Structure 1
Amino acid sequence: MNINWNSIRKEFPLLKEKYPVFGRGDFHGESIAYLDNAASTPMPLFLQKKFCEIFNKYYSNVHRGAHYFSIISTVKYEEARKIAMDFIGGDKKTHEIIFAYNTTDALNLAAHLIKNKKGIVLASEMEHHSNYLPYLRDNVVELFCVDEFGNIDYADLEKKLKKYDVKLVAVSGVSNVTGILSDIGLMAKLAHKYGAKILIDGAQALAHMPLDVKKYGIDFFAGAGHKMYAPGVAFLYAPRAILDEAESYRPGGGTINYVLPDEVNYSLSPERHEGGTPNIAGAIVLGEAMKWLKKIGMKNIRKHEMELFEYLVGELKKIPQVKIYPIRSNPAVRDADMSLVNRTSNGVYGDLNFEWHLGLVSFNIENIHHSLAVAILNYEAGAAIRNGCHCAHIYLKQLLKLNKKDIEKIKKILAKKQKGITETENLIIPGTLRASLGIFNNKKDVDKLIRGVKMIAEKKWKRDYIYENGAYKLRIK
């Protein structure tokens, strides 16, 4: 299938907007290279129109009305649930899709569902805080390790599955810090071997690669629309039996069969856990986004993004002052039948194995703090990327090789963040720069970023910056 990627790019009006860029001397308006897709993806124009169409033509509450507007809204809302199930390759007979506000909310729902089960939760050191903190509230949580290069340590996972009575293994399908793919097929087999369920935080995988959760035996899977070109809505794929025996996650309107002064009879899932008015339009447009991506082909999208990723990493490696994290990715298992990975023709560049990556890279520029670098890239290069610890403090501690003394110093600074952090203190706070690719990106976007990184590495930026509580801003003369 011949995909016109330029035509797809034209669907994103955000990419046409002009912003002040000062890197060439005087101000001139310039479109921005948006390379922050791991945080949120922009919405294409046709989906924006779909969103508005819902409110203009039939929007009403679902499951509650006998009039046309409610009937149409309900049909389309439930159709979106079926589309999501199909998109991830879920098991319709045994599982259900529950809509949530965002991935964090979906993972909090998962933590709620298993809180009364016997056993502990195992989470990896790679996790985003959203796939770690929710379990701490009502569960005993142990961490299994990543290796010195940031990959999942599968041997340590099995060691801890043997050691503890584990009810759930919670792990990211793709790291939001490094883009490393986890071997979820292997981890599912290990979890099930020792009687545990497995949950995959699929937020970073959803828009970038083929998925087949039934094939790989995944019990829980969470994902969000705002990371796949749709509005802010999310979902949890979960076993129907567990959903139906758990207390309602959000009790209220729409979750019950009947209520008496001394008795409440709750509905079965999905209604049981979707109290109140949901994000109806968001769910419907999420379904439309999934249909669009499926039509383009997830294999095609992965190939397109990985070709750009190889180019991006190759150009970064040419800059001596740049350090990429991790410096090596080399999973312990490479059996295609045991992995989510849809292999491309890509090989290995240096020590980064592209078959086990998505189009996301974390790096730093020697002797330049990440918070200053990201500001210069924005104001003088027209490149929008992310900086910081990416809501993954435990993982960054491992990647950046922080010692106990470093951590104690950082803790004291961060503990008073709301009161204000001085510029000197800010320079102590670790982090990385992160560039993440999407369906609309092209080589020109990468080139714009690389020009900016070179400019910073050679200390050739032209403007002055002022520090304000954790961030640098352009000094307006």
Structure 2
Amino acid sequence: MLDVRKDFPILDNCKEAYFDNAATTFKPLPVIDAVSNYYCNYTANAFRGNYKNAEIVSNLLDETRREIAEFINADYEEIIFTSGATDSINKLVNMMQLSKRDCILCSRVEHHSNLLPWMNKAKVEFIDMDQNLKINPNSLKDRLLIGDVNCVTFSDVSNVTGIRQNSKEIISICRSNDVRTFLDVTQSIGHFKVDVKNLDCDYLTFSSHKILGPSGVGILYIKKERQEELKLSIFGGGMVNHIGEKNEYKPAPFCFEAGTPPIEGIIGFKAAVQYLNNLQYKNIQAYENKLFSKIVNEIISLDFITEINPSDDKSIPIFTFRPKNPDIDINFVTKLLSDSYGVALNSGFQCCQPLYSYLKIDGGIRISGYIYNNEKDVLRLKNALLSIESILK
């Protein structure tokens, strides 16, 4: 049993039962303290000076990169700091030098961040899915046999359904066809272990703020064998050893990190990773399985709502539903739940319009739980829904 609520000072002040963790998570004291300590005690730029505070900051960023590399079983030079998953994907797409002749395969459950950058540069095709909205491996094999596919990009876990793809199988199929793979683990890595060597993907990303860390920072993993294929697309300080007739750029990962990094975010990122490691994923999963069972048992039994994609194949505590009343404005529902009953949910398309178009549904209301939610929160949510039953059914 996890007992972490005492670590999150916002819970002393936030009067809502917060169920929008798929959008962003609360921050524990070690993360807050790490960021505050940087601001209060040793503010300086990184890798720009040899005075004491600059060396402290440089060493902390170096330690963070090593910590995150170990966190996902990568090598030091394969971890590139970005401002988040969206930034990671855009940077990668630009460095891949794609054109409209290049075909990118993706799933219909993708977040817009893992769709629009590819659509802007290349030709995007959707892969067929099964009844659980997971990539159909046989359809993928058939499409890859046709040829002309540059990369297959997909999210490990959907931020709408909470269902996990068979990521290792998909990557293995692509590897057998000599096709590159990009994996977005932004929704999954806060819930279970990610191992890039075991997965054998070419590229991967996630954001700090989804795993208890600060906003404005994330990582882009690029497998060493793929780094020389990329063309640098962002230029500035910190990435070059010598400027002359032929510029001499620093080796990876520094050649991919032009400009001042998000220092305080990276320092907080390190604290968040350490916090998760200390909790241990087995304990997180055991707690979340119990929490999700509680959500399902208490909420799915309500006869005036409908889950948008019923499935027993859930992997994280995400549950998205629609009121039975087709005329009710779902944004009004979540506003009412917040203002009158102190429950925070997410309404709309969750940046996944192609999925909702595929399902022929005009958005949904998402419940997404995490390690500091408890049964009291779930019962509060259920009672709030029961209180507005008359407008939902």
Shorter-chain-normalised TM-score: which range?
over 0.9
Distance 1:87 1:34 in 2: 27
Q: Is 1:361 aligned to residue 293 of structure 2?
A: no
Count of aligned pairs: 389
Distance 2:341 2:73 in 1: 41
Distance 1:268 1:247 in 2: 13
TM-superposed CA distance for 1:384, in Å, is 0.5
TM-superposed CA distance for 1:115, in Å, is 2.6
Q: Among 264, 270, 274, which residue is 1:291 paired with?
A: 274
Alignment of 1:106-145 (within 5 A): 106-116=88-98, 119-145=102-128
Residue matched to 2:51: 67
Query: Aligned partner of 2:241: which letter?
Result: N
Query: Aligned partner of 1:369: which letter?
Result: D
Distance 1:254 1:287 in 2: 21
Residue matched to 1:339: none
String of CA shifts for 1:79-106, please: whole Å, max 9, x gaps: 111111111122x28x610000011001
Q: Among 192, 197, 217, which residue is 2:180 paired with?
A: 197
Distance 2:387 2:324 in 1: 12
Query: Aligned partner of 2:82: which letter?
Result: A
- Contact 1:325 1:363 survives alignment (8 Å): yes
Identify unmatched segments of 5+ residues in structure 2. none
Residue matched to 1:458: 390
- Contact 1:15 1:34 survives alignment (8 Å): no
When residues 139 and 459 of structure 1 are mapped into structure 2, their CA distance, relative to the original with a 3 A threshold, is: closer
Distance 2:126 2:308 in 1: 21
TM-superposed CA distance for 1:183, in Å, is 0.7
TM-superposed CA distance for 1:273, in Å, is 1.2
TM-superposed CA distance for 1:116, in Å, is 4.8
Residue matched to 2:226: 242
Give secondary structure in 2 for the equivalent of 1:151.
coil
Q: Is 1:327 aligned to residue 310 of structure 2?
A: yes
Distance 2:144 2:387 in 1: 48
Q: Among 59, 78, 99, which residue is 2:81 paired with?
A: 99
Q: Normalising by structure 2, what TM-score?
A: 0.94
| Aligned residues with identical type, % of pairs | 29
Query: Aligned partner of 1:182: which letter?
Result: Q
Give secondary structure in 1 for the equivalent of 2:10.
helix
Distance 2:38 2:228 in 1: 31
TM-superposed CA distance for 1:148, in Å, is 4.2
- Contact 2:30 2:271 survives alignment (8 Å): no
- Contact 2:20 2:368 survives alignment (8 Å): yes
CA RMSD of aligned residues (A): 1.9
Give secondary structure in 1 for the equivalent of 2:196.
coil
TM-superposed CA distance for 1:45, in Å, is 2.3
String of CA shifts for 1:107-154, please: whole Å, max 9, x gaps: 112212323599522111111011111112322222212234423222
Query: Aligned partner of 1:10: which letter?
Result: K
- Contact 2:30 2:275 survives alignment (8 Å): no
- Contact 2:30 2:272 survives alignment (8 Å): no
Residue matched to 2:143: 160
Structure label with greater radius of gyration: 1
Q: Is 1:47 aligned to residue 31 of structure 2?
A: yes
Q: Is 1:380 aligned to residue 324 of structure 2?
A: no
Q: Among 6, 10, 16, which residue is 2:6 paired with?
A: 10
Q: Is 1:266 aligned to residue 249 of structure 2?
A: yes
Distance 1:365 1:140 in 2: 36
Between 1:161-170 and 1:430-439, the stretch displaced more is 161-170
TM-superposed CA distance for 1:431, in Å, is 0.7
- Contact 2:145 2:177 survives alignment (8 Å): yes
Give secondary structure in 2 for the equivalent of 1:295.
helix
Distance 2:363 2:218 in 1: 27
Distance 1:456 1:397 in 2: 28
Distance 2:8 2:233 in 1: 36
Residue matched to 2:62: 78
Q: Normalising by structure 1, what TM-score?
A: 0.78
- 4+ residue stretches of structure 1 with deviation over 3 A? 116-119
TM-superposed CA distance for 1:9, in Å, is 0.5
Distance 1:197 1:96 in 2: 16
Identify unmatched segments of 5+ residues in structure 1. 19-30, 329-351, 403-429, 461-477
TM-superposed CA distance for 1:276, in Å, is 0.6
Q: Is 1:446 aligned to residue 378 of structure 2?
A: yes
When residues 116 and 431 of structure 1 are mapped into structure 2, their CA distance, relative to the original with a 3 A threshold, is: closer
